[in-house]
Amino acid sequence: MASTLMQALSREKIIAIARGYTSEQLLAAAKSLADGGISFLEVTLNTDGALGMISWLRETYGDRMHIGAGTVLDIGQAKEAIAAGAQYLISPNLDEDVVYHGVEQGLEVWPGTMTPTEIVRAYKAGASAVKLFPMGALGINYLKEIRAPLGTIPMIATGGVNLDNIDAVLEAGAFAVGMGGNLLDKRLIAEGKFDELRVHAQAFANKAQGARTI
């Protein structure tokens, strides 16, 4: 039976990826996302002060958002992220030790994979879903082809997803999508246009909800 977090992701379908923002920017951006219907927010660990941001976001938006850690490259970072309050771990790579430890601690772990071998290895290690990355380079046809033999493994398509193709990616079989700058618009955030960011987020949420998933 799928976890509560996986059930929520299956409904909402979007993980926002925050990389390189200040605490003040992320504070305001998180509210815009939540108000716009996006509740999954991943803070990448290569962001200055990421662990503190994760803790703060859990305390401030824990009732509205699911806060995770991204760019978790090894078990040391995994332990730090869990201690900070991350509810799930996401990586660009597959490190089985990270998967084992996260699962042991009761967290969802979604490692980065590209090949059929990596996808199956991650799933066998205990990952409840895999991050198919880099989706922008692989393309939707790759997703369709890989889903044919491996359709029982949930795949989070990350990279290259935008407002024009999000419905096509989901309709091709992605369980969910991970989105950075195309969702967390750097210009809007830099200019403090957080109401526009909320409208932007709502457009993505509406597209995701309208997609015909398989």
Q: Is 131 a catalytic residue?
A: yes
Residue partners of 1: CB distance under 8 A and separation at least 6: none
Residue partners of 48: CB distance under 8 A and separation at least 6: 20
**């403090």: which residue's tokens?**
192
Alpha helices by DSSP H, 50-193: 50-61, 75-84, 96-104, 116-125, 135-138, 140-150, 166-171, 186-190
Among residues 54, 62, 46, 64, the alpha carbon closest in space to that of 26 is found at 54
Q: Sort 120 into a burial class: Cβ within 10 Å, 0-12 / 13-18 / 19+.
A: middle
184 pLDDT more than 60: yes
Span 78-136, pLDDT tens digits: 999 999 999 999 999 999 999 999 999 999 999 999 999 999 999 999 999 999 999 99
Span 38-89, pLDDT tens digits: 999 999 999 999 999 999 999 999 999 999 999 999 999 999 999 999 999 9
Q: Is 186 a catalytic residue?
A: no
- Among 31, 79, 96, 131, the one annotated catalytic: 131
Q: Give the pTM.
A: 0.97
- Among 13, 42, 108, 207, the one annotated catalytic: 42
| Structural domains of the chain, with CATH | 4-208 (3.20.20.70)
